[in-house]
Structure 1
């Protein structure tokens, strides 16, 4: 698998390259130091996966997330692993707003466990997802709700709908896959939100929250 690594720190870039290059099935084909250079490298090199820091120039705020969202539209088959120093739920919510397929969010401390980064790269390359357990815990704690406690109350059909939501599918796509009407999907989703205690939050946050609860139980 071909990987592009992006980080404004030369030390981190080279460290990640060394970690991944030790894996027989992974090859680092490009390095980038900022948001624009990352997108340019993807356009030129067509990697399978991008490993990027969340904060890079020009603003050093959320460039990694913005790059991941841009690549979802321009290069949907490219997996993205976002690395962050902090377990900020706002960043993880933004990253996952268009689905978790092909996306991973790991804390930089995981670099001390090389196998975790390599496994995340392989997972997103295959369309899977990896969310750092501490990030899931932080998001669930922020909602003051024990992980997975409400999922037991979902019906079998609601679990199917939630599983499809976790792929990033919209309501029309879910309806086609489950052979039901869009209105039926909407009713199931509203029921899911209510049972998970997400009824008071915005649409994007409710979908991400529901998916994170699903992933927490699955893992």
Structure 2
């Protein structure tokens, strides 16, 4: 498999090139910035390009911009972006802007050579690779941003029965609660889902819709 590398840290770049060569990869080009990588890809597209996220001149998101240019020049090239830290917003751009054949890994993952080699092949074949630390961050962010995550288990049970069309009285019967307790739960659900006071039945419908879309 043919690989090109772009990383301004020369020790990391040359070390990775040597390791990949020893693993049986054909390293056909290496450079320290995105523009040079794009020119190399134009001349002789590899199977996969490995790019640092932050490269000259701005050390911001040059890796993603270079990845976009590489994909425009050679749509079949896999793109593996490496980063020193988990940067969720950049990773999300990568995963949403490209249709497969992409990966986002922390540089520390490269130390597991067997796994890294398999992930490069996966990306080259059109698959997607996401760093485990990024998955943890995304799950945590979703929990924080999801209003349903604010509900207690009891409130979720009440909302689930609301979604089945149960009245407060029917919910009270099913959950062995007093009607007043159910009403208190319903009021709490409205507040946690940021449903402003208004016609009660209208808020009930909106709460159910949010539950069904989750």
Per the normalisation by structure 1, the TM-score is 0.64
What SS does the aligned partner of 2:143 have?
coil
Aligned to 2:19: 19
Q: CA deviation at 1:2?
A: 0.6
Counterpart contact for 2:34–2:66, Cα < 8 Å: yes
What SS does the aligned partner of 1:52 have?
strand
The higher-RCO structure (CA 8 Å, 6+ apart) is 1
Aligned to 1:59: 58
Aligned to 1:110: 109
Q: CA deviation at 1:114?
A: 1.2
Aligned to 1:31: 30
**Structure 2 spans left out of the alignment, 5+ residues:** 150-208
Aligned to 1:125: 124
- Please give the alpha-carbon distance, in whole angstroms, between the structure 2 residues aligned to 1:123 and 1:52: 16
Counterpart contact for 1:32–1:41, Cα < 8 Å: no
Between stretches 88-97 and 69-78, larger displacement belongs to: 69-78
Aligned to 2:84: 85
Select the structure of larger CA radius of gyration.
2
Q: CA deviation at 1:32?
A: 1.1
- Please give the alpha-carbon distance, in whole angstroms, between the structure 2 residues aligned to 1:114 and 1:19: 8
- Please give the alpha-carbon distance, in whole angstroms, between the structure 1 residues aligned to 2:144 and 2:127: 26
Distance 1:100 1:84, change over 3 A: farther
**Structure 1 spans left out of the alignment, 5+ residues:** 151-190, 197-219
Q: CA deviation at 1:70?
A: 2.2
Q: CA deviation at 1:100?
A: 4.8
- Please give the alpha-carbon distance, in whole angstroms, between the structure 2 residues aligned to 1:99 and 1:52: 15
Q: Deviations 1:74-115 (Å, cap 9, x if unpaired)?
A: 211000100001111101011112245100101011121112
Counterpart contact for 2:42–2:73, Cα < 8 Å: no
Q: Flag the structure with higher helix content.
A: 2
Q: CA deviation at 1:145?
A: 5.8
- Please give the alpha-carbon distance, in whole angstroms, between the structure 2 residues aligned to 1:96 and 1:35: 19
Counterpart contact for 1:30–1:45, Cα < 8 Å: no
Question: 4+ residue stretches of structure 1 with deviation over 4 A?
Answer: none
Q: CA deviation at 1:116?
A: 2.2
CA RMSD of aligned residues (A): 2.5
Aligned to 1:195: 213
